[in-house]
Each structure stands twice: as structure tokens, then as C-alpha cells.
Amino acid sequence: MPFSSTHNKHKLKFSPEEEFPDLSKHNNHMAKVLTLDLYKRLRDKETPSGFTLDDVIQTGVDNPGAAPYDPIKTHSDPILIPYGRGQLGSHGLEWSPLRNRQGRGWVGVACRIVGVASSRWACPDVAPPPSPTPPAALNSLEGEFKGRYYPLKAMTEQEQQQLIDDHFLFDKPVSPLLLASGMARDWPDARGIWHNDNKTFLVWVNEEDHLRVISMEKGGNMKEVFRRFCVGLKKVGRGHGKAGHPFMWTEHLGYILTCPSNLGTGLRGGVHVRLPKLSQHPKFEEILHRLRLQKRGTGTGRGGGGA
């Protein structure tokens, strides 16, 4: 399991042929791209924190039907581009050119823009972060972003219930894909939820990514939701940058994130709309496929949801 780099150093005592995983029954992208020759060339490379190719492929090895970046991009790029990323490169965010079309058919119960960003220190595998901690950086926000942090380990039953009622609380990972990557390690230590007083701007700390920034509100004003997201994300980024913990970014991939589908801007958008009986339409699945949408539940607090 990729919780320590110690096992990787031990593996180097054995030949690549001995350590190369049996992928004969795997049908994920990792198995299609990884060859013995590639494994030989990359197995001894590691990030500054000791993360190696064996850590990268562990989830794919443990989950034959399933499928992170810089030291191993020879391996990761062929996966990311077919996955739907297209050309890899730098990205930017700008909200001002957007035109709000609320008066032209927007139907919304909730609109949310979800951005995901990682700061270098936040991995549970490394030593506790230096001060200021994420709550301190977030609690320094002012104006419309002024709010409070709720650590999972210390919240009261009343606070927990309120976060559930608001659909803000995230769950402990249970998927084999996520567990194989070590995402649930030491749960619920160092995890928490921060939101502003208006409950329109949220930050999940150490859920799937180190930080998950969410802007949301009822109604159809997508431009306002996105404006708040862009302004708030810049403030959060500046706060962590001043503390010496900038978001991880490369010219090649953009922002570095847990899931390959979020690389680049780290941005996902979702809209909850009421379309009576659409799900009963015989061509519902075909409609979603053509529009590149997914069916998602609206009763949970998971970010990015909604078809």
C-alpha cells in the first residue's frame, strides 16, 4: 500500500522482472500503457516526498477494471489524453466575460462550481504542516468570505447534523479505488469543512484532494456563482502562498490533483434542475450520453453533482 516510501526502497533490491505486476487480467488504462520496459526506466524515480511509480500504479494494480505525475509523465500522458483531457497545458480562470442568461431559460434549484486545488504540504503521509494551518489561512478571509472551520474530529453532534441538513458534510471514502490509494488513512484526522457565514462558499479540507473549493447558491445566477468562486479561490490561493504553501502547478499539466479528470484548472461545474419525468423518457440515457452528462443524486453533499 502506498502509505510509506520504505517498501519502494526495499523493492529496488529485486529485479524489475520480479516486481513487475501481473496485468494479464487487467483492462484499465494503466495496464494498457505500462510495459516492462517502461517500468524498468521509471521504477527508481521519485518525487521529493518519496512517491514512486509503484505508488502511482497501486490503485490500478489493486483494481483491475480501474486506473497520478511529473516524474512519470511518460506513463501518465497516454492515460490522461484518451481519458478526455485533450491537449495538456496551462489554464486560466476569468469570469468577467461571462453573460448571465438567467432570463433566458435557466432553471435551477442549486448551482455550484467546484474547484479542486492541492497545496504541497497537505498530504497525511508527511509531517504536520507548519503554521498557519488550513483553518488559520481560511479564517483570515474577510467580507463575503468570512466564515468558520469545522474539523471532523472535533465537531459536535449538533454541528454535524446541521452540516448534513445543509448537504455540506462529506463521507469517509469506501470505494476500493480510493482506499487502495491511501485516501482514508488516519481518518478523520486533519479533515474538516469550512464555509462562509452565508453558506455560499465552502472549502473541504483533505477529503479527496487537499483542498476542494465550492461556490454555490439557489437560483440561476451562474455568473455570480462563478464570480464568487474565482474571487474566493484567488484569496485562498494567496493566503496559502504567503504561508509558503502554494498550490501545486506545472506548465505541462496545470494544477495537480488526485483524479486525472480534474487536471488543468481543477474545475468542475454542476447544476441541479427540476425536469419532471425526464428520467422516465425512453431515450434518457441516450440524451445524457449525447450531452456528455452523468446521472447523479441530489440528496448528498458531494461536490460537482447533478445531471
Annotated binding site: 167, 212, 268-272, 296-301
CA separation for the pair 106, 286 (Å, rounded): 22
Phi and psi torsions of 60, nearest 5°:
-70, -30
Q: Residue 116 is inside which H or E element, if any?
A: strand 110-117
As annotated, the binding site for ATP includes: 167, 212, 268-272, 296-301
The residue among 172, 224, 223 whose CA lies nearest residue 198 is 224
How far apart (Å, rounded) are the C-alpha atoms in residues 11 and 281?
A: 54
Q: How far is Cα 29 from Cα 154, in angstroms, rounded to an integer?
A: 40
Nearest to 29 by CA among 71, 69, 57, 1: 57
DSSP 154-209: T--HHHHHHHHHTT-PPPPP--HHHHHTTTTTTTTTT-EEEEETTSSEEEEESSSS
CB 234 within 8 A of CB 244: no
**Distance (Å, whole) CA 78 – CA 140:** 41
Q: Which helix (H) or strand (E) holds 33?
A: helix 29-33
11 burial (CB, 10 Å; 0-12 / 13-18 / 19+) is: middle
Give the sheet arrangement for strand 110-117, strand by strand.
147-151, 192-196, 201-205, 211-217, 110-117, 267-272
